[in-house]
Amino acid sequence: MNCRLLCLLVLAFFTRVAFADEAASASSSKAANVSAVSTEPVQYSISVAEYRFDDAFDSDSTEAEILKMIRDRRISPAETIRLTTLTGIKSMVQFGRRVAVVTGTATGRGGVVRQTKDFDLGTLIQIELNPHLKGVIGSINYATSRLGADRGEDMPADVVTKSTDATQIYEIGKPRLLFGSTAGEPFVVMVSVTDID
């Protein structure tokens, strides 16, 4: 009786070991497949568009509601930047110019003298995409610097800057809100990621 019991215990032990080895092998194979897919770079096209509104929108507006407002009001983007990138690689694009901006005035014997300062104006985007089950994870650094509204010939000009550093999931072909503001001149920045055939 003891011999039979011992044999059954030994058989059960080796059966468990065999199942464990098989499961480990399957898991290892699956991990290798996932790794092979995730390390293969995929090419995408990214569109970053800034939309400006004539009047403030509700600060509680959802992403879907903001998209609907843009479509319903037929708002054209004030600026659109497109770039192509591969997953796992940081890409960068920059457009800009240097301008002399009046920062103040001084009155002397020769009349009014304008004081100026050089500013770099433009847009900088840095982006890195990585695979995700729902699409891609996008890490985006976005910054702009522009002249504000003209306040008069002898008035110092405003330099308006906007920037964000955000990471979120992007479904392929579906626009997403990157960031925006209802203060001053209301605006939003939308990002779309699409496949390249």
Q: Contact, 153 vs 177, CB < 8 A?
A: no
Residues 67 and 112 in one domain: yes
Residue 12 — left, alpha, or beta (φ > 0 → left; ψ -120 to 50 → alpha)? alpha
Tally of residues, the chain:
197
Q: CA-CA distances (angstroms) from residue 183 to 5, 54, 159? A: 79, 12, 16
Are 28 and 78 members of one domain?
Answer: no
46 in the same domain as 33: no
Based on the fold, state whether residues 6 and 66 are members of the same structural domain: no
Domain of 121, in residue numbers: 41-195
- Indicate whether this model's pTM tops 0.85: no
Q: Are residues 47 and 27 in the same domain?
A: no
Q: Are residues 49 and 6 in the same domain?
A: no
Task: Mark whether 102 and 8 lie in a shared domain.
Answer: no
Report the pLDDT value the prediction gives residue 49, as an integer from 0 to 100: 96
At 121 the pLDDT is 87
Which of helix, strand or coil describes residue 51?
strand
Alpha-carbon Rg for the chain in angstroms: 29
Both 81 and 169 in one domain: the answer is yes
- Residues 80 and 101 reside in one and the same domain: yes
CB 148 within 8 A of CB 121: no
| Among the ranges given (88-92, 96-100, 153-157), the one the predictor scored with the smallest mean pLDDT | 153-157
Within this chain, do residues 14 and 77 fall inside the same structural domain, yes or no? Answer: no
Q: Give the whole-angstrom CA distance, residue 88 versus residue 137.
A: 10
Number of structural domains (the chain) is 2
Q: For residue 154, what pLDDT band results from cuts at 50, 70 and 90?
A: low
Which residue carries 């809100």 as its tokens? 177
- In this prediction, residue 3 carries a pLDDT of 53
* Tens-place pLDDT, residues 164-194: 999 999 999 999 999 999 888 899 999 999 9
Task: Examine the domain organization and report whether 36 and 126 are in the same domain.
Answer: no
